[in-house]
Amino acid sequence: MKPKILVTSAAGKTGLPTVLQLREKDFPVRAFVRRRDSRSAQLERAGADIFVGNQYALTDMRAAMDGVKRAYQCAPTAPNGLHFNAVFTVAANEAKLEHVVTLGQWLSSADHPSLFTREVYLSDAMIRLSPAMSVTSVDPGWFADNYLMVIGMAAHLGLFTMPLGPGDEKKNAPPSNEDIARVAVEALTDPETHAGGSYRPTGPELLSPNDIAAAMGRALGRRVRYMDISEKMMTKALRALPPSNYSEAAVSQLAIYAEEYRRGSFAVNAPTGDVQRLTGRAPEPFETIVRRTVAVQPDLKQSLPASARALAGFLKILLTPALDLDRIQSQRDYVRIAAPRYSQDAPEWTETHAPAAPLSTPAKVA
């Protein structure tokens, strides 16, 4: 009998493919979602047990863990991530789970400028306190999906706009949501091998912003040019262009991650061989990820009306007030620390994230 596995944030970027991949392996899965919609219907068709509830409520989390032996801990990108992880940790210990796979961050460090990242650091420490429960950490960096926030502008205006610095500097090996999920699934289905492990899924190669733009162009069938923009312009775009899943709080943290990008933190020790080593298959190239997105979004097809709407959206960005990121963090009463340090400025981070030896093609873990 295969143990039942709980997947939190099951309708999210990595939660949804994690559920689908576990069901492909015939594992019983309980999918924790906020509401019933097309995504929960997809999971239900795949055979998942749908649990609708509030992930921040301990009573709901306790109920979701009834009869569960393992779980995927995937905190929402929200200001209350530490609260979510505290609720999860309490419920997991009460339920006596045997194994948890937690979605962390490559940037995770104790004194990071991002509150979200410091909360990830604390959450990872909390979940590992129980000697009775094994834990595997999956710590991706800048997702390939992050670039797709602006795929509409690329499709209709030929512009890939983000505050990533010079266009020719190769600073990220972006992993797909599906590859992140594949690593999580391997750890969930084989805890004996992966207990205590920390893995960083990446794409197959380091890419520059110009490389990203070129891949978008090939997938879209048009020329796409990278434009380096300011953080101020990024906040305007994230507020102006629907559909936006980013709160003001999340935007304030994305600006910090963009600074880490420009500093080259996502290029450290990248690419890794973790996807190949754990799953036995090569990580997905960025162009493959874009092509999959284009195939399911008919609104990305070029047309005169679509271009007009994109141009109107661009004008809306210019007219949208920028966010005062420091004010947001102050008004929301964020915990502030006296001497925050970006990842590569923190000795404990550099000691544990040092560049590895050159990769050979690894064999799949037995």
pLDDT tens, position by position, 281-310: 999 999 999 999 999 998 898 888 888 888
Residue 329 has pLDDT above 90, yes or no: no
Are residues 334 and 263 part of one domain?
A: yes
Answer whether residue 274 is part of any domain. Answer: no
Backbone conformation region of residue 104, classed left if phi is above 0, alpha if psi is from -120 to 50, else beta: beta
Phi, psi of 223 (to 5 degrees): -75, 130
Burial of 265 from C-beta contacts in 10 A (0-12 / 13-18 / 19+): buried
Answer whether residue 279 is part of any domain. Answer: no
Give the residues across from 134 on adjacent strands.
99
Are residues 248 and 221 part of one domain?
A: yes
Asked whether the beta carbons of 228 and 166 are under 8 A apart, the reply is yes
| Interhelix angle 286-296/209-220, nearest 10 degrees | 40
Residue 240 has pLDDT above 90, yes or no: no
> How many domains does the chain fold into?
2
* Number of other residues whose CB lies within 10 A of the CB of residue 240: 17
Q: Which CATH number do you get for residue 305?
A: 3.90.25.10
Are residues 184 and 112 part of one domain?
A: yes
Report the alpha-carbon distance of residue 237 to residue 231 in Å, rounded: 10
What's the N-to-C CA distance of the chain in angstroms?
Answer: 20
Residue 326 confidence (pLDDT): 73
- Element containing residue 250 per DSSP (H, E): helix 248-263
Single-letter amino acid code for the residue at 32: F
Residue 188's domain spans which residues? 5-141+176-199
Q: What is the pTM of this model?
A: 0.91
Work out the percent of the chain whose per-residue pLDDT is above 70. Answer: 93
Dihedral (CA of 188, 207, 282, 30) sign? positive
Q: What is the mean pLDDT of residues 11-23?
A: 97
Answer whether residue 298 is part of any domain. Answer: yes
Taking every pair of C-alpha atoms in the chain, what is the biggest distance, in angstroms? 61
Residue 359 has pLDDT above 70, yes or no: no
